[in-house]
């Protein structure tokens, strides 16, 4: 893949990473405010744990995306970007345009889904 093309995708990844970080941060703040109001009186251990659980479930999707994006940026730095992490084959450029954080080629992705 051309260097300039990779740089474009890198910028997109970095923007998306910043967005998710902002998002997670504001959710965290929101959570703290709500939790402060609701639990001023009943703040026992079990309640605190179940709140943490709910919050984790909400964030798990974005966390996962963030991890994928960071891994992709890492691969750009290591000059392995665009290569499937499973088989080492080239990932289709159209696929990377649609999902710059894609780590697998289409064949491996399909195989993963079947498992
Ligand atoms: Zn592959």
Q: Whole-angstrom Cα distance, residue 34 to residue 47?
A: 13
pLDDT of residue 6: 97
Other CB atoms within 10 A of residue 21 CB: 13
Q: Is position 112 within any domain?
A: no
pLDDT of residue 72: 98
Q: How many domains does the chain have?
A: 1
Q: Is position 115 within any domain?
A: no
Q: Is position 102 within any domain?
A: no
> Using 50, 70 and 90 to split pLDDT, how confident is the model at 99?
very high
Residues with CB under 5 A from ligand 1 (ion): 84, 86-87, 89, 105, 108
Convert the pLDDT of each residue in 22-74 to its tens digit.
Answer: 998 998 888 788 776 665 555 677 777 777 766 676 678 888 999 999 999 99
Q: Is position 51 within any domain?
A: yes
pLDDT of residue 50: 73
Say which residues have a Cβ less than 8 Å from residue 82's Cβ, sequence separation at least 6.
1, 6, 90, 91, 93, 96
Q: Is position 56 within any domain?
A: yes
CA 44 – ligand 1 centroid, Å: 48
For residue 12, pLDDT over 70 is answered with yes
CA 90 – ligand 1 centroid, Å: 8
- Structural domain containing residue 63: 3-83
């Amino acid at each position: 893949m051309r260097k300039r093309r990779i740089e474009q995708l890198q910028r997109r990844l970095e923007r998306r990473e910043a967005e998710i970080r902002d998002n997670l941060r504001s959710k965290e703040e929101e959570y703290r405010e709500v939790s402060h109001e609701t639990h001023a009186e009943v703040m026992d251990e079990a309640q605190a744990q179940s709140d943490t659980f709910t919050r984790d479930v909400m964030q798990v999707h974005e966390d996962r995306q963030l991890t994928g994006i960071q891994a992709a940026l890492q691969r750009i730095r290591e000059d392995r970007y665009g290569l499937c992490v499973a088989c080492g084959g080239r990932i289709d450029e159209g696929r990377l345009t649609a999902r710059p954080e894609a780590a697998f080629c289409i064949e491996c992705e399909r195989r993963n889904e079947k498992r």
